[in-house]
A and B are shown apart, each in its own frame.
Chain A
Amino acid sequence: MSTPAIELKNVTKRFGSVIANDNVNLTLEQGEILSILGENGSGKTTLMNMLSGIYYPDEGQIFVGGREVSIQSPKDSFELGIGMIHQHFKLIDVLSAAENIILGLQGEEILKMQEVYAKINELTAKYGFDLDPKEKIYNMSVSQKQTVEIVKVLYRGADMLILDEPTAVLTPQEIQKLFTVLRNMRQAGKSIIIITHKLNEVMELSDRVAVLRKGRYIGCVETAKTSISELTEMMVGEKISLDIHRSQPQDAHKRIEMRGITVRNKEGVRMLNKASFVANSGEILGIAGVAGSGQKELLEAIAGLQETETGGEILYYAPTGETLKLTEMTAENIRNLGIHLSFVPEDRLGMGLVGSMDLTDNMMIRSYRETGHFFAHRKAPRELAEQIVEKLDVVTPGVDTPISHLSGGNVQKMLVGREIAAQPIVLMVAYPVRGLDINSSYTIYNLLNEQKEKGVAVICVGEDIDVLLALCDRIMVMSGGNITGVVDAKSTTKEEIGLMMTGATKEKADHES
């Protein structure tokens, strides 16, 4: 056997007390396509970022072509012939494809674009890309932009390519095109790693599959000798039981009903495809799915923050017996009905809180309209902030502290606490425990349970299946903008949800497991 293209030995990476990669071993052979499979937060991207020079491993060794190397920066990585295609493209909109491709390269001062075009055309012809080097990036579809990124690393002479979730944003036809290109590159001797969580693509494309789970390396199998169900098992692992108090739903009534809602993003890609579901009062409905499967669009459609395509409707059955069409109402009116959304984005701040404002002011963002005259009242929001601080054990020097000075968990407590204090009838939370430690997470779980017992219809988007299984009454699974099924949280299995997250419908998932 020839020397492996890349070899990782006992690589460990920590962020503070969180271990992102724990003792990972991985080998990429020359001229193969290796898939790295794992759920969100399993450490796939972190691991690859150590190869692309963005992070530096705390422990362990990296070998490239049999030689031990130290990759300190993206430049080092590129000089070793490693090219990474990130999920978020690093391209400049107003420049052409060719200009983006040569950006940062040294060379003759006066640009000879004809020569650059010729070299790019040569590359695209060789591997079967479809790319006009003169085209401006802002005129391109997502798939064309990805092509530019791939050609960029090839142009710089990379022979080991790492693609981070390359198919997440592509249509099925574009995915097939990409796979053809990747196979052509393998043919030409390039070694390729693709990071993914889509099992069917793994089976279709790769030679071998390495599985990561919660930062740990689980194993590496040959694609030809494995099955989807074996991979799912490796990916999701054993069920962990969490001790979250769950009461029986009392007196459930229909609250929200979505019928055939479709949402497109600004590039015209369907983020939500004819979604229909029902959320009941006095119940927690969990939404599972890999990030970007349409969860955010779904919640925002209910909150009136998303344009939906005509044909669908969202109905709200008020406790008074009225039925209202939310699709015809403004976000403000929807909120006044008691339908509240609290979305915890990746950076926690940014949606719903203003970092440089203090706790009281952040409470006022929601309530400043209530007094109805020119001067805003500060007393009530101040009391509210004090109440939340006390009730949820928020660690802060006082309510006059800018919220950005608080730790992440405490920021989230304020965010969720504010929504709950408004006594919602429908409470939607997305990633409420993102980045929180165990104790803070439990505080949030208990808050959600309390709301449910009060008869609130709670919709909770989560990342961790174990948590959803323990917390929710029903779990709705989404994949690529589709709702693949709704299951009873008490009787379903982790594998069933795992399969549905990868796009299998409930019936098929039942059959497989």
Chain B
Amino acid sequence: MTLIFTFIQQAIGQGIAILFGATGEIMTEKSGNLNLGIPGIMYMGGIAGLMGAFFYENHAKEPVAAIGFVVALLSTLIVSMFGGLIYSFLTISLRSNQNVVGLALTTFGVGFGNFFGGSISKMAGGVGQISVKTTAGAFRASIPGLSQIPVIGPLLFSYGILTYVALILALATTFILFRTRRGLHLRAVGESPATADAAGIDVTKYKYAATVGGAAIAGLGGLYFVMEYLGGTWSNNGFGDRGWLAVALVILALWNPAHAIWGSLVFGALYILYIYLPGLTRATQELVKMLPYVVTIIVLIITSKRNKPENQPPASLGTVYFREER
């Protein structure tokens, strides 16, 4: 029984970073921008938050948890939005190829993370020596009282604040996309920019807003990873391929952030399943690690067979919009 509890807790811990990434990517993709730079942006967001906290804690005589929290949060948001802005400027304003820009941004972002991660590790005195205990403590603090309830407490209320932010953001993004005027306009932009343009919607503005906003949300996934999951430290390439899992989760969730919530749990569970399955050899472990991707492929096959238009990617996804080409 406790094993199952631990498994679920661990799965949630794995899933939240992916959920942030997927929510951000869904918002971006709904504007027709296929931002494959999201994995890189998550690295950038993570390292930025860590650096913010690190420099604050190193310079303040007595670091205050709340200030460290705000500094880390702002650093993450600014840097990841900057990543989104680079992508937007290149693909929307300069009309470069989205795939090329996205992949370049991911390569850049991973390098950015590892470079600064390595640098501050050196400043801190060696690999694994970074510690921003005070700030990480603020991120890790669980809800007092509620988390003490037996069974339900550890299962539902034992997580840091970003876990709940991830859930709220996913639900709020769903609401904005499907229930508000701006959401309707954004979906229209992603489906057919020419039609949206003719209806008087500012296509460029919506694309920029969704892409930069989406990058900010995805960046929080990186922050979650370094603060809550790792507890305020850095290991090079430690974030692994979670960013790509986030991109895959977008497909599994059929471009609906609310679906991404349970999807992230499934992905999180499959991601760590190999630890809990007895009798796996090193080789079979690797096979089990493939499961999230296998599930994504199966979902792709099923949805393309059923061919329901709502479950398809936004029609203009991956293409740049030229008004003159009408």
Residue numbers of A with Cβ under 8 A of B are 74-75, 90-95, 99, 102-111, 136, 138
Contact among B184, B194, B198, B201 for A99, CB-based, below 8 A? B184
CB <8 Å contact, B180 and A136: no
Q: Does B305 contact A (CB under 8 A)?
A: no
Contacts beyond the supplied A94-B309, A95-B184, A102-B181: 17 A-B pairs with Cβ under 8 Å: A92-B196, A93-B315, A94-B315, A102-B184, A103-B185, A103-B188, A103-B196, A103-B199, A104-B185, A104-B201, A105-B181, A108-B181, A109-B180, A109-B182, A110-B181, A111-B180, A111-B181
Say yes or no for B179: interface residue by CB 8 A criterion: yes
C-alpha spacing A93/B310, complex, angstroms = 9
CB distance from B232 to the nearest CB of A (A): 39
- Cβ of A75: which chain B residues have Cβ within 8 Å of it? 200
Note all chain B residues with C-beta closer than 8 A to A136. 309-310
Taking CB as reference atom, which chain B residue is nearest A89?
A: B195
Complexed CA–CA distance, A492 and B200 (Å): 50
Chain B residues, CB < 8 A from A107? 181
Known: A92-B188, A92-B192, A95-B188. A103 touches B201 (CB 8 A): yes
B191 CB within 8 Å of chain A:
yes
Q: Output the nearest chain A residue to B199 by Cβ-Cβ distance.
A: A104
Q: How far is the CA of A91 from the CA of B312 in the complex (A)?
A: 17
Task: Specify the chain B residue showing the minimal Cβ separation from A104.
Answer: B199
- The CA of A42 and the CA of B283, in the complex, are separated in Å by 72
| Bound Cα distance A106, B199 (Å) | 11
B207 within 8 A of A: no
Nearest residue, chain A, Cβ from B182: A109
Q: Are B191 and A93 in contact (CB under 8 A)?
A: yes
> Is B187 on the interface with A (CB-CB < 8 A)?
yes
22 A-B pairs in the complex with CB atoms less than 8 angstroms apart: A74-B200, A75-B200, A90-B199, A92-B195, A93-B191, A102-B181, A102-B184, A103-B185, A103-B188, A103-B196, A103-B199, A103-B201, A104-B196, A104-B200, A106-B181, A107-B181, A109-B180, A111-B180, A111-B181, A136-B309, A136-B310, A138-B309
Most chain B CB inside 10 Å of its own CB: which residue of A94, A105, A110: A94
Q: How far is the CB of A435 from chain B (nearest CB, A)?
A: 18
CB distance from B312 to the nearest CB of A (A): 8
CA distance in complex: A21, B181 (Å): 40
Question: Which chain A residues lie closer than 8 Å to B182 at the CB level?
Answer: 109
Contact A95 B201 (CB under 8 A): no
Once A102-B184, A103-B188, A111-B180 are accepted as A-B contacts, the answer to whether A93 and B309 lie under 8 Å apart by CB is: yes
What's the dominant secondary structure at chain A's contact region?
A: loop
Which of B179, B181, B192 gathers most chain A CB within 10 Å? B181
Which of B184, B309, B312 touches A103 (beta carbons < 8 Å)? B184
Main SS at interface, chain B: helix
Work out how many contacts link A and B, with CB atoms closer than 8 A: 61
- Name the residue in B198, B199, B310 with the highest tally of chain A Cβ atoms < 10 Å from its Cβ: B199
In the complex, chain A residues whose CB is within 8 Å of the CB of B192: 90, 92
CB-CB < 8 A to B201: which residues of A? 103-104
Q: How far is the CB of B19 from chain A (nearest CB, A)?
A: 24
List the 7 closest A-B pairs by CB distance, nearest first: A104-B199, A104-B200, A103-B199, A92-B191, A90-B195, A138-B309, A94-B309
Given A103-B188, A103-B199, A104-B200, A94-B310 contact (CB < 8 Å)? yes
Contacts of B191 in A (CB 8 A): 92-95
> Which residues of B from 194 to 244 have beta carbons under 8 Å from A?
194-196, 198-201
Chain B residues within 8 Å of A106, by CB: 181
Shortest beta-carbon distance from B192 to chain A in Å: 5
Give chain B nearest CB distance to A436 CB in angstroms.
Answer: 23
Interfacial chain A residues near B199, Cβ < 8 Å:
90, 103-104
**Interface of chain B residues 157 through 200 with chain A (CB within 8 A):** 179-182, 184-185, 187-188, 191-192, 194-196, 198-200
Residue of A with least CB distance to B200: A104
Contacts of B184 in A (CB 8 A): 95, 99, 102-103, 111
CB distance from B71 to the nearest CB of A (A): 32
Residues of B contacting A102 in the complex (Cβ-Cβ under 8 angstroms) = 181, 184
The answer for the CA separation of A99 and B199 in the assembled complex, in Å, is: 12
Contacts of B195 in A (CB 8 A): 90-92, 103
Query: Chain A contacts of B188 at CB under 8 A?
Result: 92, 95, 103-104
A9 to chain B, nearest CB (A): 28
Cα distance, A103 to B196, chains bound together (Å): 8
Residue of B179, B191, B200 with highest tally of chain A CB at under 10 A = B200
Please state if B198 and A74 are interface contacts (CB–CB under 8 Å): yes
B-chain residues with CB within 8 Å of residue A111 when the two chains form the complex: 179-181, 184
Residue of A nearest to B326 (CB): A54
Residue of B whose beta carbon sits closest to that of A103 = B199
Cα distance, A110 to B183, chains bound together (Å): 9
Closest to B310 in A: A94
Query: Closest CB of chain B to A277's CB: distance in Å?
Result: 37
Closest-CB distance, B161 to chain A (whole angstroms): 27
* Chain B residues within 8 Å of A74, by CB: 198, 200
User: Across the two chains, which residue of chain B brings its CB closest to A90?
Assistant: B195
B181 touches A90 (CB 8 A): no
Q: How far is the CB of A167 from chain B (nearest CB, A)?
A: 23
- Residues B309 and A110 in contact, CB atoms below 8 Å apart: no
Write out, one digit per residue, whether chain B residues 13-53 have a CB within 8 A of any chain A CB (1) or not (0). 00000000000000000000000000000000000000000
**What is the bound-complex CA distance between A95 and B185, given in angstroms?**
11
Residue among A74, A95, A104 with max Cβ neighbours from chain B (10 Å): A104
CB distance from A107 to the nearest CB of B (A): 6
> Once the chains bind, are B180 and A90 in contact (CB under 8 Å)?
no
